[in-house]
Structure 1
Amino acid sequence: MTGPRLVSILRQGSHLIASVHTALDDTQMTAFQHDLVDRIGRDRSRGVVIDVAALDVLDSFATRTLRTIAEVARLRGAVTVVVGIQPDVAFAMVSLGMDTGALHTALDLEEGLALLDRIAGGRRPAVGARGGPA
């Protein structure tokens, strides 16, 4: 018997929406990273929104993992936006000096998708040898 899903990854057009439903330990966070990166390639995604609104803590490992996901996604041709960081979480991250690097963020899912459309929407698909999408 399985429990409730900790994370869901849904496809919406050329984007993936990954929602983290509860706090993840380091092993679960690493598994999430691998699953999401795999889906980016399998679904040929151009953008990824990671919704962390359900989290009341983002520790240094989770923050570093989100940065890693964004960088790997970028190298695979997708833009990543993290949405839903709670105000107390943002204050704690700044107070602790956590570096989010060049991680794109937005207030909520709607704004995250709009940001992806602005950033990734103008990208053209790669062209294969016969002139069609690769």
Structure 2
Amino acid sequence: MSLLETARAVREHAYAPYSRFKVGAAIRAESGAVYAGCNVENVAYPQGTCAEAGAIAAMVAGGDTRIAEVCVIADSPNPVPPCGGCRQKLREFAGGDVRVTMATTDGKTLVMTMDQLLPGAFAASHMERR
């Protein structure tokens, strides 16, 4: 199953009774393993979780910590990028050259790198003291 097919399948499990905006995400770790996540809303906004955050949590729980590729899908007229918080979460585990494919349920796609999605990202290197 491709990364897009995985994201599309997990999107169907999203819990989005309030926004009705289901999102699926799939991550391929550098190990080759694929991890998926979907958004999970909560009536007490903003206590829900994004699909990308769920996929990252599954990856870390699976023992991987480096992202090789990302795919996100939503039912939208245009490909939807990860929110700002998820861009930072993805960047924690992904290099700047990692490809992020954003897709719609009707087949439109847009591919960008992490550096394009989050230029000037805050990184662990900013925490180092000399």
Q: TM-score, normalised by structure 2?
A: 0.38
Instruction: From the CA coordinates, give the structure whose radius of gyration is larger.
Output: 1
Q: TM-score, normalised by structure 1?
A: 0.37
Q: Where is the strand percentage greater, Structure 1 or Structure 2?
A: 2
